[in-house]
Structure 1
């Protein structure tokens, strides 16, 4: 049986957001890896999201799934943030062997953590160290290049999928950061409780912010998730 893994990145992001985990799997298996880029997305400085809607991104994922399905016998889907929501959409509509949800944006914006992150940015700005702030570096292009209309479409993706989460029944591994300033950390448990999969696991990362593939403990959860995917 030939296995394929479809990786879906987040809103206003690109394949770089999930590349570390994709590389981890690539080094350890002969699985076929697919990391499509959603319409209007990509590297932060190349974003061109105006005019794209929720349906475009969901169709991008469906087409990527169908392309991969022509090459392999079974498909694992890994989704980060908005990609996690779209991954659930695929798991409901198509045959998915296993599902991995990374900081899946079934709920969005954790005000408490966001305030902390902004406070740290403000402190760095006062000490003229803003350019060294990891969060600022990651988001500075997005602040300029993500139109409000695109953000509304992202919320539509969540609204379209949220009522059907309980229809997810394939084996699922959930990873959620406790320091996530975009997706409230309680979302991980919300998803774990909501999906109907008999085989499901959750890993709450003590150090994880939203970009969970770059967390201090990523090697630990990479291994746990890989074992979950590899076992029959």
Structure 2
């Protein structure tokens, strides 16, 4: 391990592929950073059927394993999580924050637009629907109509995996107050997957001091911000933040 070395653990979102966050890898590696981009259990396969029976605890094991491996090879570790990946990053922070340089949460999925999600009006009906609906269709939303989204996301997901994702949301919300490490949040103001107040819930819920947390808004992007119309700005925001942290 070289003195002053740093690494970034990137965590993709629910039903997403590595391609959904891949545009961030080359810019980070060009800075001399070691990048880890694990594929969460049930993801990256030929069929969403691989997600059936998978629990959020399985995803936590995946990211903990990746964190331990990265930590063993560098001095400083940054976490970058998108959507559900941001929730997993926040849980890593609650557990290992004294061993982290900072967490970057992109569109943290603590509050979903879906009326069946936790803290939404119809959430009580979600377990009942699980008895009758085995699969949920999914859409990948982009502001840029020219974006080819086929390889970024499963077209559907097993209902039981979605219910476990909902459990992760509730669990993460209960742990926000345990987080005190540096935090940088990037969120889309008008997207239709995660509500705008999700970023504010995370920002206000953590115990990170005011001078160690930031919230930046995107005005045009939809949920898949690393592949949408403001992707260059998103990448530059993250690169600049990490560069600033490394020179402190």
CA distance in 1, matches of 2:174, 2:192: 24
Task: Using structure 2 for the length normalisation, give the TM-score.
Answer: 0.78
CA distance in 2, matches of 1:98, 1:228: 10
What secondary structure does 1:93 align onto? helix
Q: Does the 8 Å contact 1:179/1:210 carry over to 2? A: no
Aligned with residue 41 of structure 1, among 21, 27, 43: 43
CA distance in 1, matches of 2:164, 2:182: 28
Moved over 3 A (4+): 132-141
Aligned with residue 184 of structure 1, among 195, 204, 219: 195
Q: Does the 8 Å contact 1:110/1:180 carry over to 2? A: no
Aligned with residue 21 of structure 2, among 18, 22, 27: 18
Cα offsets for 1:12-45 (capped at 9, x unmatched):
1121111112222222x111100000001016x4
CA distance in 1, matches of 2:104, 2:92: 12
Matching residue of 1:170: 181
Q: 1:37-186 to 2 correspondence within 5 Å?
A: 37-42=39-44, 45-47=46-48, 48-94=50-96, 95-109=99-113, 137=150, 141-143=154-156, 146-186=157-197
CA distance in 1, matches of 2:168, 2:153: 24
What secondary structure does 1:197 align onto? coil
Cα offsets for 1:38-76 (capped at 9, x unmatched):
001016x44311121111011111111111111111110
What secondary structure does 2:191 align onto? coil
Aligned with residue 32 of structure 2, among 23, 30, 33: 30
Matching residue of 2:122: none
Q: Which runs of 5+ in 1 are unaligned?
A: 112-120, 122-131
Residues 59 and 140 of structure 1: CA distance in aligned 2, closer, same or farther (over 3 Å)? closer
Aligned length: 209
Task: Using structure 1 for the length normalisation, give the TM-score.
Answer: 0.83
Q: Which runs of 5+ in 2 are unaligned?
A: 116-138, 140-144
Q: Does 1:219 align with 2:223?
A: no
Cα RMSD between the aligned structures?
2.2
CA distance in 1, matches of 2:232, 2:149: 24
